[in-house]
Chain A
Amino acid sequence: MKKKRKLNNYSLEHKKYLKKIKVDKTTTLIAQILIFCAIIGLWELLTATKVLDPFFLSSPSRIFVTLVDTFKNGNLLYHIGITLYETIVGFILATALGTFIAILLWWSNKLRNILDPYIVVLNALPKIALGPVIIIWVGAGTPAIITMCILICIVITTLSMLSSFLSCDKDKIALMKSMGANKFQILFKLILPNSFGEFVSVLKINVGMSWVGTIMGEYLVSKAGLGYLIVYGGQVFKLDLVMSSTVVLCFLACLMYILVGILERKVKRH
Protein backbone atom coordinates (compact mmCIF):
# COMPACT_ATOMS: atom_id res chain seq x y z
CA MET A 1 0.00 0.00 0.00
CA LYS A 2 2.68 2.42 1.13
CA LYS A 3 4.91 1.46 -1.73
CA LYS A 4 2.20 2.08 -4.28
CA ARG A 5 1.50 5.57 -3.06
CA LYS A 6 5.19 6.34 -3.25
CA LEU A 7 5.38 5.09 -6.81
CA ASN A 8 2.57 7.41 -7.84
CA ASN A 9 4.56 10.39 -6.67
CA TYR A 10 7.41 9.67 -9.06
CA SER A 11 7.72 11.46 -12.36
CA LEU A 12 6.97 9.62 -15.56
CA GLU A 13 10.65 9.55 -16.43
CA HIS A 14 11.53 7.95 -13.12
CA LYS A 15 8.78 5.36 -13.52
CA LYS A 16 10.18 4.48 -16.93
CA TYR A 17 13.62 4.16 -15.39
CA LEU A 18 12.33 1.86 -12.64
CA LYS A 19 10.49 -0.21 -15.21
CA LYS A 20 13.64 -0.56 -17.28
CA ILE A 21 15.56 -1.85 -14.28
CA LYS A 22 12.82 -4.37 -13.62
CA VAL A 23 12.75 -5.55 -17.22
CA ASP A 24 16.54 -5.86 -17.27
CA LYS A 25 16.43 -7.96 -14.13
CA THR A 26 13.76 -10.30 -15.50
CA THR A 27 15.49 -10.83 -18.83
CA THR A 28 18.74 -11.65 -17.05
CA LEU A 29 16.97 -14.20 -14.88
CA ILE A 30 15.21 -15.74 -17.87
CA ALA A 31 18.52 -16.04 -19.73
CA GLN A 32 20.10 -17.71 -16.71
CA ILE A 33 17.30 -20.24 -16.41
CA LEU A 34 17.37 -20.92 -20.16
CA ILE A 35 21.09 -21.62 -20.12
CA PHE A 36 20.64 -24.01 -17.21
CA CYS A 37 17.82 -25.87 -18.96
CA ALA A 38 19.76 -25.97 -22.22
CA ILE A 39 22.80 -27.56 -20.58
CA ILE A 40 20.71 -30.13 -18.72
CA GLY A 41 18.58 -30.84 -21.80
CA LEU A 42 21.53 -31.18 -24.16
CA TRP A 43 23.39 -33.36 -21.68
CA GLU A 44 20.36 -35.66 -21.31
CA LEU A 45 19.67 -35.72 -25.05
CA LEU A 46 23.22 -36.49 -26.13
CA THR A 47 23.70 -39.24 -23.54
CA ALA A 48 20.25 -40.76 -24.12
CA THR A 49 20.92 -41.01 -27.85
CA LYS A 50 24.37 -42.46 -27.08
CA VAL A 51 26.12 -39.70 -29.02
CA LEU A 52 28.12 -39.31 -25.83
CA ASP A 53 28.85 -42.23 -23.57
CA PRO A 54 26.84 -42.00 -20.31
CA PHE A 55 29.37 -44.30 -18.72
CA PHE A 56 31.91 -41.47 -18.78
CA LEU A 57 29.57 -38.50 -18.57
CA SER A 58 26.66 -39.81 -16.50
CA SER A 59 23.42 -37.98 -17.27
CA PRO A 60 20.86 -35.84 -15.45
CA SER A 61 18.33 -38.66 -15.22
CA ARG A 62 20.94 -41.11 -13.95
CA ILE A 63 22.11 -38.56 -11.37
CA PHE A 64 18.54 -38.16 -10.24
CA VAL A 65 18.02 -41.91 -9.94
CA THR A 66 21.29 -42.30 -7.99
CA LEU A 67 20.31 -39.49 -5.63
CA VAL A 68 16.93 -41.05 -4.95
CA ASP A 69 18.48 -44.51 -4.44
CA THR A 70 21.22 -43.38 -2.05
CA PHE A 71 18.73 -41.22 -0.24
CA LYS A 72 16.34 -44.17 0.20
CA ASN A 73 18.93 -46.51 1.67
CA GLY A 74 19.95 -43.73 4.06
CA ASN A 75 23.51 -43.48 2.79
CA LEU A 76 23.19 -40.03 1.28
CA LEU A 77 22.07 -38.32 4.48
CA TYR A 78 24.78 -40.13 6.43
CA HIS A 79 27.53 -38.90 4.11
CA ILE A 80 26.08 -35.40 3.94
CA GLY A 81 25.92 -35.35 7.74
CA ILE A 82 29.60 -36.31 8.07
CA THR A 83 30.80 -33.71 5.58
CA LEU A 84 28.56 -30.97 6.99
CA TYR A 85 29.81 -31.69 10.48
CA GLU A 86 33.44 -31.51 9.43
CA THR A 87 32.93 -28.36 7.41
CA ILE A 88 30.97 -26.49 10.04
CA VAL A 89 33.32 -27.42 12.88
CA GLY A 90 36.33 -26.50 10.72
CA PHE A 91 34.69 -23.25 9.65
CA ILE A 92 33.85 -22.14 13.19
CA LEU A 93 37.17 -23.19 14.71
CA ALA A 94 39.21 -21.60 11.92
CA THR A 95 37.31 -18.32 12.07
CA ALA A 96 37.45 -18.11 15.86
CA LEU A 97 41.08 -19.18 16.13
CA GLY A 98 42.21 -17.02 13.23
CA THR A 99 40.52 -13.95 14.68
CA PHE A 100 41.97 -14.68 18.10
CA ILE A 101 45.50 -14.93 16.69
CA ALA A 102 44.92 -11.67 14.81
CA ILE A 103 43.96 -10.03 18.10
CA LEU A 104 47.16 -11.28 19.74
CA LEU A 105 49.24 -10.00 16.83
CA TRP A 106 47.45 -6.63 16.97
CA TRP A 107 48.06 -6.45 20.70
CA SER A 108 51.81 -6.95 20.57
CA ASN A 109 53.94 -5.28 17.93
CA LYS A 110 56.85 -7.33 19.10
CA LEU A 111 55.04 -10.64 18.61
CA ARG A 112 53.88 -9.48 15.18
CA ASN A 113 57.40 -8.64 14.06
CA ILE A 114 58.80 -11.90 15.38
CA LEU A 115 56.14 -14.06 13.76
CA ASP A 116 56.04 -12.17 10.48
CA PRO A 117 58.33 -14.49 8.44
CA TYR A 118 56.52 -17.59 9.72
CA ILE A 119 53.17 -16.22 8.67
CA VAL A 120 54.51 -15.38 5.23
CA VAL A 121 55.80 -18.94 4.79
CA LEU A 122 52.61 -20.48 6.14
CA ASN A 123 50.57 -18.34 3.80
CA ALA A 124 52.64 -19.28 0.76
CA LEU A 125 52.75 -23.00 1.55
CA PRO A 126 50.22 -25.18 -0.30
CA LYS A 127 48.48 -26.58 2.77
CA ILE A 128 47.66 -29.90 1.04
CA ALA A 129 51.38 -30.71 1.22
CA LEU A 130 50.96 -31.04 4.97
CA GLY A 131 48.40 -33.83 4.50
CA PRO A 132 50.67 -36.76 5.35
CA VAL A 133 52.10 -34.93 8.36
CA ILE A 134 48.62 -34.22 9.65
CA ILE A 135 47.63 -37.86 9.27
CA ILE A 136 50.64 -38.96 11.28
CA TRP A 137 50.06 -36.37 13.99
CA VAL A 138 46.32 -36.53 14.54
CA GLY A 139 45.49 -39.88 12.94
CA ALA A 140 43.58 -40.73 9.77
CA GLY A 141 40.03 -39.73 10.50
CA THR A 142 37.70 -36.87 11.20
CA PRO A 143 40.26 -34.90 13.27
CA ALA A 144 42.67 -34.92 10.31
CA ILE A 145 39.97 -33.60 7.98
CA ILE A 146 38.99 -30.84 10.38
CA THR A 147 42.64 -29.93 10.84
CA MET A 148 43.06 -29.65 7.09
CA CYS A 149 39.99 -27.45 6.90
CA ILE A 150 41.32 -25.19 9.67
CA LEU A 151 44.75 -24.96 8.05
CA ILE A 152 43.25 -23.83 4.77
CA CYS A 153 41.09 -21.11 6.35
CA ILE A 154 43.09 -19.86 9.28
CA VAL A 155 45.97 -18.00 7.64
CA ILE A 156 43.77 -15.89 5.41
CA THR A 157 41.46 -15.21 8.37
CA THR A 158 44.33 -14.01 10.53
CA LEU A 159 45.86 -11.88 7.79
CA SER A 160 42.60 -10.21 6.75
CA MET A 161 41.50 -9.49 10.30
CA LEU A 162 44.93 -8.22 11.32
CA SER A 163 45.17 -5.82 8.42
CA SER A 164 41.70 -4.56 9.22
CA PHE A 165 42.62 -4.06 12.89
CA LEU A 166 45.77 -2.18 11.95
CA SER A 167 44.00 0.07 9.48
CA CYS A 168 41.86 1.63 12.21
CA ASP A 169 42.02 5.43 12.11
CA LYS A 170 44.87 6.72 14.31
CA ASP A 171 42.76 9.70 15.41
CA LYS A 172 40.04 7.37 16.65
CA ILE A 173 42.61 5.59 18.80
CA ALA A 174 43.96 8.93 20.05
CA LEU A 175 40.39 9.96 20.86
CA MET A 176 39.89 6.81 22.94
CA LYS A 177 43.20 7.38 24.72
CA SER A 178 42.38 11.03 25.42
CA MET A 179 39.23 9.84 27.16
CA GLY A 180 41.31 7.52 29.30
CA ALA A 181 40.70 4.20 27.52
CA ASN A 182 43.00 1.28 28.31
CA LYS A 183 44.08 -1.24 25.69
CA PHE A 184 41.23 -3.67 26.44
CA GLN A 185 38.70 -0.91 25.99
CA ILE A 186 40.31 0.19 22.75
CA LEU A 187 40.09 -3.40 21.54
CA PHE A 188 36.50 -4.11 22.54
CA LYS A 189 34.91 -0.72 22.02
CA LEU A 190 36.78 0.40 18.92
CA ILE A 191 38.94 -2.10 17.06
CA LEU A 192 36.56 -5.07 17.05
CA PRO A 193 33.30 -3.28 16.19
CA ASN A 194 35.18 -1.20 13.63
CA SER A 195 36.30 -4.41 11.86
CA PHE A 196 32.88 -5.99 11.79
CA GLY A 197 32.44 -5.45 8.06
CA GLU A 198 35.77 -7.18 7.38
CA PHE A 199 34.72 -10.03 9.67
CA VAL A 200 31.63 -10.67 7.57
CA SER A 201 33.69 -10.78 4.37
CA VAL A 202 36.05 -13.21 6.06
CA LEU A 203 33.06 -15.38 6.96
CA LYS A 204 32.03 -15.37 3.31
CA ILE A 205 35.50 -16.33 2.12
CA ASN A 206 35.72 -19.03 4.77
CA VAL A 207 32.45 -20.60 3.68
CA GLY A 208 34.09 -21.40 0.34
CA MET A 209 37.49 -22.24 1.80
CA SER A 210 36.16 -24.59 4.47
CA TRP A 211 34.48 -26.70 1.79
CA VAL A 212 37.77 -26.85 -0.09
CA GLY A 213 39.55 -27.88 3.09
CA THR A 214 37.06 -30.55 4.06
CA ILE A 215 36.81 -32.15 0.62
CA MET A 216 40.59 -32.13 0.31
CA GLY A 217 40.83 -33.74 3.72
CA GLU A 218 38.30 -36.36 2.72
CA TYR A 219 40.20 -37.13 -0.47
CA LEU A 220 43.22 -37.85 1.69
CA VAL A 221 41.90 -39.96 4.52
CA SER A 222 38.19 -40.48 4.83
CA LYS A 223 35.95 -43.50 5.02
CA ALA A 224 32.79 -41.43 4.75
CA GLY A 225 31.50 -38.10 3.50
CA LEU A 226 30.83 -36.54 0.12
CA GLY A 227 34.52 -36.24 -0.70
CA TYR A 228 34.87 -39.92 0.04
CA LEU A 229 31.91 -40.73 -2.25
CA ILE A 230 33.53 -38.77 -5.05
CA VAL A 231 36.90 -40.52 -4.69
CA TYR A 232 35.29 -43.92 -4.26
CA GLY A 233 33.00 -43.35 -7.26
CA GLY A 234 36.02 -42.39 -9.35
CA GLN A 235 37.99 -45.45 -8.32
CA VAL A 236 35.24 -47.91 -9.24
CA PHE A 237 34.19 -45.93 -12.33
CA LYS A 238 30.77 -45.07 -10.97
CA LEU A 239 30.46 -41.68 -12.64
CA ASP A 240 26.83 -41.42 -11.55
CA LEU A 241 27.94 -41.42 -7.93
CA VAL A 242 30.70 -38.88 -8.57
CA MET A 243 28.34 -36.51 -10.35
CA SER A 244 25.54 -36.91 -7.80
CA SER A 245 27.87 -36.14 -4.90
CA THR A 246 29.21 -33.10 -6.74
CA VAL A 247 25.69 -31.80 -7.29
CA VAL A 248 24.88 -32.20 -3.59
CA LEU A 249 28.13 -30.44 -2.73
CA CYS A 250 27.28 -27.46 -4.96
CA PHE A 251 23.88 -27.24 -3.37
CA LEU A 252 25.19 -27.32 0.22
CA ALA A 253 27.95 -24.78 -0.41
CA CYS A 254 25.42 -22.37 -1.95
CA LEU A 255 23.07 -22.89 0.97
CA MET A 256 25.77 -22.05 3.51
CA TYR A 257 26.80 -18.97 1.54
CA ILE A 258 23.20 -17.77 1.47
CA LEU A 259 22.87 -18.32 5.22
CA VAL A 260 25.91 -16.13 5.89
CA GLY A 261 24.40 -13.52 3.56
CA ILE A 262 21.17 -13.53 5.55
CA LEU A 263 23.11 -13.25 8.79
CA GLU A 264 25.00 -10.29 7.35
CA ARG A 265 21.81 -8.44 6.41
CA LYS A 266 20.24 -9.19 9.78
CA VAL A 267 23.17 -7.83 11.74
CA LYS A 268 23.74 -4.86 9.44
CA ARG A 269 20.27 -3.56 10.18
CA HIS A 270 21.34 -2.96 13.77
Chain B
Amino acid sequence: MDNYLQLKDVSLSYHTKEKEVLALDNITFSVKKNEYLSIVGPSGCGKTTILSLIAGLLKPSGGEVLLENKPIDKNTTIGYMFQRDHLFEWRTIYKNVILGLELNGKSKDKESIERVDDLLKKYGLYDFKNSYPYQLSGGMRQRAALIRTLALQPKILLLDEPFSALDYQTKLSVCDDVHQIITNEKQTVIAVTHDISEAISMSDRIVVLTNRPSKVKYIQDIKLQDIKTPLKRRESTIFPKYFDLIWKELSNEKKEEVK
Protein backbone atom coordinates (compact mmCIF):
# COMPACT_ATOMS: atom_id res chain seq x y z
CA MET B 1 0.00 0.00 0.00
CA ASP B 2 2.79 2.38 -0.80
CA ASN B 3 0.73 4.32 -3.28
CA TYR B 4 -2.58 4.66 -1.50
CA LEU B 5 -3.12 8.16 -2.83
CA GLN B 6 -1.15 9.43 -5.79
CA LEU B 7 -0.84 12.84 -7.36
CA LYS B 8 0.70 12.45 -10.80
CA ASP B 9 1.94 15.59 -12.58
CA VAL B 10 -1.00 17.52 -11.29
CA SER B 11 -1.31 21.10 -12.44
CA LEU B 12 -4.08 23.58 -11.92
CA SER B 13 -4.84 27.06 -13.22
CA TYR B 14 -7.37 29.49 -11.85
CA HIS B 15 -9.10 31.65 -14.40
CA THR B 16 -10.29 35.13 -13.53
CA LYS B 17 -11.39 37.92 -15.80
CA GLU B 18 -8.05 39.69 -15.45
CA LYS B 19 -5.67 36.78 -15.81
CA GLU B 20 -4.89 33.11 -15.60
CA VAL B 21 -3.09 32.00 -12.45
CA LEU B 22 -1.05 28.83 -12.55
CA ALA B 23 -1.29 27.63 -8.93
CA LEU B 24 0.10 24.10 -9.20
CA ASP B 25 2.80 23.07 -11.63
CA ASN B 26 3.36 19.33 -12.05
CA ILE B 27 2.89 18.25 -8.47
CA THR B 28 3.82 14.64 -7.87
CA PHE B 29 3.80 12.80 -4.57
CA SER B 30 2.08 9.86 -3.00
CA VAL B 31 0.70 8.97 0.39
CA LYS B 32 0.86 5.60 2.08
CA LYS B 33 -2.06 4.04 3.84
CA ASN B 34 -2.32 5.16 7.50
CA GLU B 35 0.33 7.77 6.92
CA TYR B 36 0.13 11.32 8.29
CA LEU B 37 1.59 13.62 5.66
CA SER B 38 1.99 17.36 6.15
CA ILE B 39 2.30 19.95 3.46
CA VAL B 40 4.15 23.18 4.23
CA GLY B 41 4.91 26.05 1.89
CA PRO B 42 4.88 29.83 1.50
CA SER B 43 1.49 31.46 1.85
CA GLY B 44 -0.60 31.53 -1.27
CA CYS B 45 1.46 28.79 -2.93
CA GLY B 46 -1.47 26.45 -3.46
CA LYS B 47 -1.77 24.20 -0.42
CA THR B 48 -5.53 24.60 -0.08
CA THR B 49 -5.79 24.04 -3.82
CA ILE B 50 -4.15 20.62 -3.47
CA LEU B 51 -6.65 19.63 -0.79
CA SER B 52 -9.58 20.86 -2.89
CA LEU B 53 -8.34 18.70 -5.75
CA ILE B 54 -8.10 15.61 -3.58
CA ALA B 55 -11.56 16.33 -2.15
CA GLY B 56 -12.90 16.43 -5.70
CA LEU B 57 -14.08 20.03 -5.32
CA LEU B 58 -11.81 21.04 -8.21
CA LYS B 59 -10.75 19.23 -11.36
CA PRO B 60 -7.04 19.27 -12.25
CA SER B 61 -6.09 21.14 -15.42
CA GLY B 62 -3.53 18.43 -16.07
CA GLY B 63 -2.39 15.17 -14.52
CA GLU B 64 -4.42 12.93 -12.27
CA VAL B 65 -5.29 12.22 -8.68
CA LEU B 66 -5.66 8.53 -7.90
CA LEU B 67 -6.96 6.86 -4.77
CA GLU B 68 -6.21 3.15 -4.71
CA ASN B 69 -5.37 3.52 -8.41
CA LYS B 70 -8.79 4.91 -9.26
CA PRO B 71 -9.51 8.53 -10.13
CA ILE B 72 -11.29 10.46 -7.38
CA ASP B 73 -14.93 11.19 -8.11
CA LYS B 74 -18.04 12.47 -6.37
CA ASN B 75 -18.75 9.15 -4.66
CA THR B 76 -15.38 8.82 -2.98
CA THR B 77 -15.78 9.61 0.72
CA ILE B 78 -13.23 12.17 1.75
CA GLY B 79 -13.13 13.91 5.12
CA TYR B 80 -12.30 17.60 4.99
CA MET B 81 -11.56 19.77 8.03
CA PHE B 82 -11.02 23.48 7.90
CA GLN B 83 -9.30 26.13 9.94
CA ARG B 84 -12.47 26.80 11.88
CA ASP B 85 -14.59 23.91 13.09
CA HIS B 86 -17.68 25.13 11.18
CA LEU B 87 -20.07 23.40 13.54
CA PHE B 88 -23.57 24.61 12.74
CA GLU B 89 -24.70 26.76 15.65
CA TRP B 90 -28.36 25.80 15.20
CA ARG B 91 -27.70 22.09 15.60
CA THR B 92 -26.83 20.17 18.74
CA ILE B 93 -23.44 18.45 18.87
CA TYR B 94 -25.09 15.16 18.06
CA LYS B 95 -26.97 16.61 15.09
CA ASN B 96 -23.74 18.21 13.90
CA VAL B 97 -21.84 14.98 14.13
CA ILE B 98 -24.40 13.02 12.11
CA LEU B 99 -24.69 15.72 9.44
CA GLY B 100 -22.65 13.70 6.96
CA LEU B 101 -24.73 10.59 7.59
CA GLU B 102 -27.89 12.63 7.11
CA LEU B 103 -26.64 13.98 3.77
CA ASN B 104 -25.99 10.45 2.58
CA GLY B 105 -29.28 9.03 3.82
CA LYS B 106 -27.57 7.01 6.53
CA SER B 107 -28.89 8.78 9.62
CA LYS B 108 -31.20 5.81 10.32
CA ASP B 109 -28.51 3.26 9.58
CA LYS B 110 -28.00 1.41 12.86
CA GLU B 111 -24.37 0.52 12.32
CA SER B 112 -23.35 4.09 11.50
CA ILE B 113 -25.25 5.51 14.46
CA GLU B 114 -23.64 3.03 16.81
CA ARG B 115 -20.24 4.00 15.45
CA VAL B 116 -20.96 7.67 16.08
CA ASP B 117 -22.15 7.00 19.62
CA ASP B 118 -19.03 4.98 20.14
CA LEU B 119 -16.77 7.77 18.90
CA LEU B 120 -18.58 10.32 21.07
CA LYS B 121 -18.15 8.12 24.13
CA LYS B 122 -14.54 7.29 23.40
CA TYR B 123 -13.53 10.90 22.94
CA GLY B 124 -15.45 12.42 25.82
CA LEU B 125 -18.31 14.16 24.01
CA TYR B 126 -21.18 11.83 24.77
CA ASP B 127 -22.34 13.89 27.74
CA PHE B 128 -22.45 16.95 25.51
CA LYS B 129 -24.44 15.32 22.75
CA ASN B 130 -27.44 17.55 23.33
CA SER B 131 -25.44 20.74 23.93
CA TYR B 132 -25.06 23.43 21.33
CA PRO B 133 -21.62 24.28 19.90
CA TYR B 134 -21.37 27.62 21.77
CA GLN B 135 -21.47 25.70 25.04
CA LEU B 136 -18.25 23.81 24.22
CA SER B 137 -14.60 24.82 24.55
CA GLY B 138 -12.44 25.31 21.45
CA GLY B 139 -10.76 21.95 21.90
CA MET B 140 -14.03 20.09 22.31
CA ARG B 141 -15.46 21.79 19.26
CA GLN B 142 -12.49 20.69 17.19
CA ARG B 143 -12.95 17.12 18.43
CA ALA B 144 -16.64 17.26 17.50
CA ALA B 145 -15.69 18.46 14.03
CA LEU B 146 -13.26 15.58 13.71
CA ILE B 147 -15.89 13.04 14.75
CA ARG B 148 -18.26 14.58 12.21
CA THR B 149 -15.77 13.78 9.44
CA LEU B 150 -14.93 10.34 10.84
CA ALA B 151 -18.63 9.39 10.99
CA LEU B 152 -18.59 8.86 7.23
CA GLN B 153 -15.54 6.58 7.44
CA PRO B 154 -13.56 8.61 4.94
CA LYS B 155 -10.89 6.97 2.83
CA ILE B 156 -8.65 9.91 3.52
CA LEU B 157 -8.73 12.86 5.88
CA LEU B 158 -7.77 16.35 4.73
CA LEU B 159 -6.89 18.96 7.33
CA ASP B 160 -6.46 22.59 6.28
CA GLU B 161 -4.65 24.38 9.11
CA PRO B 162 -7.10 22.84 11.56
CA PHE B 163 -5.32 24.09 14.67
CA SER B 164 -4.40 27.60 13.63
CA ALA B 165 -7.49 29.22 15.12
CA LEU B 166 -6.67 27.84 18.58
CA ASP B 167 -4.47 29.51 21.19
CA TYR B 168 -1.08 27.92 21.82
CA GLN B 169 -1.94 25.95 24.97
CA THR B 170 -5.17 24.57 23.51
CA LYS B 171 -3.40 23.77 20.28
CA LEU B 172 -0.81 21.54 21.99
CA SER B 173 -3.46 19.50 23.78
CA VAL B 174 -5.80 19.36 20.77
CA CYS B 175 -2.88 18.11 18.66
CA ASP B 176 -2.40 15.27 21.14
CA ASP B 177 -6.13 14.48 21.13
CA VAL B 178 -6.43 14.55 17.38
CA HIS B 179 -3.28 12.51 16.90
CA GLN B 180 -4.60 9.87 19.26
CA ILE B 181 -7.97 9.72 17.53
CA ILE B 182 -6.40 9.52 14.08
CA THR B 183 -4.03 6.73 15.12
CA ASN B 184 -6.81 4.78 16.87
CA GLU B 185 -9.11 5.07 13.90
CA LYS B 186 -6.30 4.21 11.44
CA GLN B 187 -6.84 7.23 9.25
CA THR B 188 -4.72 8.37 6.35
CA VAL B 189 -4.17 12.10 6.67
CA ILE B 190 -2.95 14.98 4.55
CA ALA B 191 -2.56 18.12 6.63
CA VAL B 192 -1.67 21.64 5.58
CA THR B 193 0.02 23.88 8.10
CA HIS B 194 2.15 26.98 8.57
CA ASP B 195 3.57 25.69 11.82
CA ILE B 196 6.76 23.66 11.27
CA SER B 197 6.83 22.33 14.84
CA GLU B 198 3.28 21.13 14.54
CA ALA B 199 4.10 19.42 11.24
CA ILE B 200 7.14 17.62 12.69
CA SER B 201 5.34 16.51 15.83
CA MET B 202 2.32 15.14 14.00
CA SER B 203 3.68 13.74 10.73
CA ASP B 204 5.33 10.72 9.23
CA ARG B 205 6.42 12.77 6.25
CA ILE B 206 6.55 16.42 5.28
CA VAL B 207 6.27 17.85 1.78
CA VAL B 208 7.72 21.31 1.21
CA LEU B 209 6.32 23.30 -1.69
CA THR B 210 7.92 26.15 -3.66
CA ASN B 211 6.42 29.57 -4.30
CA ARG B 212 3.61 29.80 -6.79
CA PRO B 213 3.37 28.14 -9.28
CA SER B 214 4.18 25.50 -6.75
CA LYS B 215 6.21 22.38 -7.27
CA VAL B 216 7.36 19.83 -4.75
CA LYS B 217 10.64 21.20 -3.46
CA TYR B 218 11.61 18.69 -0.85
CA ILE B 219 10.24 15.70 1.05
CA GLN B 220 11.41 14.87 4.56
CA ASP B 221 10.73 11.59 6.37
CA ILE B 222 10.13 12.04 10.08
CA LYS B 223 11.24 9.16 12.22
CA LEU B 224 9.62 9.92 15.53
CA GLN B 225 6.95 7.22 15.44
CA ASP B 226 8.43 5.47 18.48
CA ILE B 227 7.38 8.37 20.62
CA LYS B 228 3.64 8.20 21.15
CA THR B 229 2.35 11.73 21.62
CA PRO B 230 3.16 14.84 19.60
CA LEU B 231 3.89 16.76 22.79
CA LYS B 232 6.60 14.28 23.81
CA ARG B 233 8.02 14.27 20.30
CA ARG B 234 8.73 17.95 20.68
CA GLU B 235 11.18 17.07 23.45
CA SER B 236 13.15 14.61 21.32
CA THR B 237 16.77 15.46 20.47
CA ILE B 238 16.30 15.11 16.73
CA PHE B 239 13.27 17.40 16.74
CA PRO B 240 15.37 20.60 16.37
CA LYS B 241 17.36 19.00 13.56
CA TYR B 242 14.23 18.35 11.57
CA PHE B 243 13.14 21.86 12.35
CA ASP B 244 16.39 23.32 10.95
CA LEU B 245 16.18 21.26 7.76
CA ILE B 246 12.66 22.33 6.97
CA TRP B 247 13.16 25.87 8.12
CA LYS B 248 16.08 26.23 5.69
CA GLU B 249 14.08 24.93 2.77
CA LEU B 250 11.22 27.26 3.56
CA SER B 251 13.29 30.34 4.19
CA ASN B 252 15.13 29.80 0.90
CA GLU B 253 11.74 30.00 -0.73
CA LYS B 254 10.89 33.18 1.14
CA LYS B 255 14.17 34.76 -0.07
CA GLU B 256 13.37 33.76 -3.65
CA GLU B 257 10.09 35.52 -3.27
CA VAL B 258 11.77 38.76 -2.19
CA LYS B 259 14.06 38.64 -5.22
Task: Identify the A interface with B (CB < 8 A).
Answer: 169, 171-172, 174-181, 185, 189-190, 193-194, 196
A172 to B133, CA, bound (A): 15
Residue ID in chain A nearest B77 by CB atoms = A180
Known contacts: A179-B152, A193-B88. The answer to whether A171 contacts B103 by CB under 8 A is no
Contact in complex: B103, A185 (CB < 8 Å): yes
Closest to B160 in A: A171
Determine whether the beta carbon of B104 is less than 8 Å from that of A174: no
| Contact residues, B10-57 vs A (CB, 8 A) | 52, 55-57
A39 shortest CB reach to chain B, Å: 44
With a CB–CB cut-off of 8 A, which chain B residues contact A185?
103
Interface hit among B78-86, B174-182, B231-239: B78-86
A172-B86 contact given A179-B100, A180-B104, A181-B103, CB 8 Å threshold: yes
Q: How far is the CB of A185 from chain B (nearest CB, A)?
A: 5
Given A175-B82, A179-B99, does the pair A190, B88 have CB atoms closer than 8 Å? yes
Measured between C-beta atoms, what is the minimum distance from A164 to chain B in Å? Answer: 14
- B168 sits at the interface (CB 8 A): no
When C-beta atoms are compared, the residue in chain A nearest to B78 turns out to be A178
Is the Cβ of B90 less than 8 Å from the Cβ of A171? no
Q: Which residues of A contact B102 (CB under 8 A)?
A: 189
Given contacts A171-B84, A174-B52, A178-B80, whether A196 and B74 have CB atoms under 8 Å apart is: no
With a cutoff of 8 Å between Cβ atoms, the chain A residues found around residue B82 in the complex are 171, 174-175
For residue A190, which residue of chain B has the nearest CB? B88
Q: A256 CA to B195 CA in the complex, in Å?
A: 54
Interfacial chain B residues near A172, Cβ < 8 Å: 86, 88
Apart from the given pairs A172-B88, A179-B100, A189-B99, 5 other A-B contacts in the complex at a CB distance below 8 Å = A169-B86, A171-B83, A172-B86, A178-B57, A193-B88
Most chain B CB within 10 A, of A177, A180, A185, A189, is at A180
A contact residues around B158 at 8 Å (CB): 178
Name the residue on A nearest B90 (C-beta): A193
**Contact between B103 and A176 (Cβ–Cβ < 8 Å)?**
yes
Closest to B55 in A: A178
| Chain A, Cβ-Cβ closest to B145 | A175
Q: Can you give 29 A-B contacts (C-beta < 8 A)?
A: A169-B86, A171-B82, A171-B86, A172-B86, A172-B88, A174-B52, A174-B55, A174-B80, A175-B82, A177-B55, A177-B57, A178-B56, A178-B79, A178-B158, A179-B80, A179-B100, A179-B103, A179-B104, A179-B152, A180-B77, A180-B100, A180-B104, A181-B103, A189-B103, A190-B88, A193-B90, A194-B88, A194-B90, A196-B90
Closest 4 CB pairs of A and B: A178-B80, A179-B100, A171-B82, A181-B103
List the B side residues contacting A169 at CB < 8 Å: 86
How far is B80's CA from A176's CA once the two chains are assembled, in angstroms? Answer: 10
Q: Nearest residue in B to A169 (C-beta to C-beta)?
A: B86
| Complex Cα–Cα for A181 and B102 (A) | 9
- Name the CB-closest residue of B to A170: B82
Bound-state Cα–Cα, A175 to B78, Å: 10
- Across the interface, which residues of A come within 8 angstroms of B83, CB to CB? 171
Mask: chain B, 85-99; 1 = CB below 8 Å from A; 0 = not: 010101000000001
A171 surroundings in chain B (CB, below 8 A): 82-84, 86
A177 to B99, CA, bound (A): 12
CB distance from A220 to the nearest CB of B (A): 42
With a cutoff of 8 Å between Cβ atoms, the chain A residues found around residue B99 in the complex are 179, 189
Q: Pick from A172, A174, A179, A196 the residue with the most CB of B within 10 Å.
A: A179
Chain A residues with Cβ under 8 A from B55's Cβ? 174, 177-178
B86 CB contacts on chain A under 8 angstroms: 169, 171-172, 175
